Amino acid sequence: MFKFYRRIHHDLMEKNKTGKYFKYAIGEIVLVVIGILIALQINNWNEQRKFNREIADVLIEVRSNLISDSLNIHQTYIERLEDINIQSTVINALEKGSIPYDSLEYDLGRVLIYRRIVLIDNGYQLMKKFGLERLKNKELRNKLVNYYTTSIKEINDDTADDEHEFFTVYLPYIRNHFLDWEWNERGIPADYENLKSDQYFLTSLKLNITNIKDTSKALERGANNIRQILPILDKTIVSYN
């Protein structure tokens, strides 16, 4: 093509057709500019496709983390409800002064315990490094920020309170008033009769139920946030593919 244009240039200059030469020159410039613009556009498309792929990969990681969190939250929530029921049984037995020794040993191994929960934020941390502001779905962005900065904090804080209660209240009590105790299995008091009239132990159980209920509510809110996020997240991932 360039040889063709050079031949035209040569012919026009030899024939002293300067006007036509400039028209061809302008035409060449326009073609070159158009070519450059097309190349830039193709490059922009490729860069956008690469960006979209990276965003989609990060969001897929976020989705995987949320699914894992949802399962862990559900399991912990079920266990916490069981703990409340067991502690209520023990409280009821202590208040009535009628303790079924054989069956209560298992229940005493389940009172005032805490439940660790591991929530994963790897995908969210990647998204933050990538730039949350680059996530075009504002609703999704706001819900993710709310879940990872508010819901997870509430769950972790309430779980930490349960753990603190266990180590500072119940564990010292076990060492002083139980013959044997095994996590989640059994608890054998040194003196059942003293246990009946121990107001400190009874009050600790009641306060702990309140703590567990707060933790359960935080777990519920976290699970609800995940349920709201996932449909929006799925649509967003599709939009980037």
Largest CA distance in the chain: 123
Q: Is the pTM of this model over 0.85?
A: no
* Torsion angle (degrees, nearest 10) of CA 195, 199, 202, 206: 180
* 89-122 residue pLDDT tens: 889 888 887 776 667 888 888 888 889 999 999 9
Mean pLDDT of 183-206: 88
Looking at residue 77, what is its pLDDT? 96
The model's pLDDT over 28-81, given as tens digits with 9 standing for 90+, comes to 666 666 666 665 666 556 566 777 788 889 999 999 999 999 999 999 999 999
The pLDDT assigned to 5 comes to 47
Nearest to 126 by CA among 138, 118, 134: 134
Average pLDDT over residues 161-187: 90
